[in-house]
Homo-oligomer: A and B are copies of this chain.
Amino acid sequence: MSLEPRFAPPSTKPVSSAARVLDDWYVACESKALGKEPLAITFLGTPIAVFRRASGEPAAVLDRCPHRNVPLSMGRVRGERLECGYHGWQFDGAGRCQAIPGLCGEVDKAGRNVPAFATRELDGWVWVYGTPDADPEREPYRHPLHDDDRYTTVTQALDMEGSLHATAENALDVPHTAFLHRGLFRQDGDRQQIDVEVRRWQDRVEAEYFGESRPEGVLGKVLAPQGGEVRHVDRFILPCIAQVEYQLGEAHVIATTALTPITDYRTRLFGAVEFRLPVVSSRFVPTKTIGNVLKPLALKVLGQDADALRKQTRNVERFGGEQYVSTEIDVLGPEIMRLLRQAERGARRPPRDEPERKRIQMLV
């Protein structure tokens, strides 16, 4: 009986940016977060219990005991199995019921198993596959630099109140930085016109910015003491990777975020920043110092992004869906949407060597 927002422009109907790509991998948690206790995690709207078996391998099952429907995550790990906390039923990593305490008859019967999700543990993250009881059609994303000891890694996990699409677009969008993050890096003042090349493959899209100037001040000097050209690429990889890459001379930074849709409009963000500094900088400014300086700045930026996404999402909810208008400087958002929709329909385009390319101009 509440008065629903009665207004909507007559020309277009609201849509939802939420995509449900089920035949692919998402990060359930960081490796270090999965100890002896099972974890209750929701991804793609589905509650799962993730646990680490005695053998060390992670496993994931639907978070509902088939017996009386309590969450299995309220139970405990016993060896290779997860035991329900209510009546003690036990399930192995494949979801098979292995014990029913008190029962005299046979345990192993159809209908007593719990759906199980394939898992992988790679580069510090525990991944789960989006479809239970299925053979994965592909493998999760790998960090190319994870084992490269010239690089330092900083990680951070947090929740965003936004769809995977909105969160990815925000992470990879350039024009908002002069407004939402006003004073923190880009300014809305004198602008220069630059070129952007957008390249699309069947499972990813990236934008490369040409002619961006080196950051002002001390930061620029530390990152590129001898000056040099800035190479800047923003990238989205199906189904959930948003990546920002900067190269200034010898300095190299890749910020990768894995985005796990908890529900349509809530996304858990697992961030990993890998960077190396030029030899000359590292000698005078230790890597640790750089991290200590940059982390509060990064968290402030993330906080502003979280705030904007929350306000956007709540507005989208009260208006009953998204109703976006894009311009050509919304470089990646519409492309990410297209990739997600194709993947959701099971219609990813066939792979090929050369990407589709287009070029636009932007004032930054």
Residues in chain A within 8 A of chain B (CB atoms): 1-7, 9, 11, 16, 18, 20, 22, 44-47, 62-64, 66-71, 74, 83-88, 100-105, 111-112, 115, 132, 166, 174-176, 178-180, 188, 191, 193, 261, 263-265, 308, 311-312, 315-329, 361-364
Q: Nearest CB to that of A323 among chain B residues?
A: B69
Contact A104 B69 (CB under 8 A): no
Copies of this polypeptide in the complex: 3
- In the bound complex, what is the Cα–Cα distance between A218 and B73 (angstroms)? 35
Residue numbers in B under 8 Å from A74 (CB-CB)? 308, 311
- In the bound complex, what is the Cα–Cα distance between A328 and B112 (angstroms)? 13
Contact of A265 with B45 at beta-carbon distance under 8 Å, contacts A85-B180, A88-B178 already known:
no
Of B47, B86, B318, which contacts A308 at CB under 8 A? Answer: B86
Residue numbers in B under 8 Å from A364 (CB-CB)? 102
Contact A328 B103 (CB under 8 A): yes
In whole Å, how far is A158's beta carbon from the nearest beta carbon of chain B? 19
Contact A3 B66 (CB under 8 A): no
Contact of A179 with B85 at beta-carbon distance under 8 Å, contacts A47-B318, A315-B71, A317-B1 already known:
yes
Contact A68 B3 (CB under 8 A): no
- In the bound complex, what is the Cα–Cα distance between A178 and B86 (angstroms)? 9
Q: Nearest CB to that of A180 among chain B residues?
A: B86
Of B5, B180, B327, B361, which contacts A47 at CB under 8 A? Answer: B5
Residue numbers in B under 8 Å from A64 (CB-CB)? 315, 319, 323
Contact A6 B178 (CB under 8 A): no
In whole Å, how far is A3's beta carbon from the nearest beta carbon of chain B? 4
Contact A312 B4 (CB under 8 A): no
Residue numbers in B under 8 Å from A261 (CB-CB)? 3
- In the bound complex, what is the Cα–Cα distance between A112 and B9 (angstroms)? 11
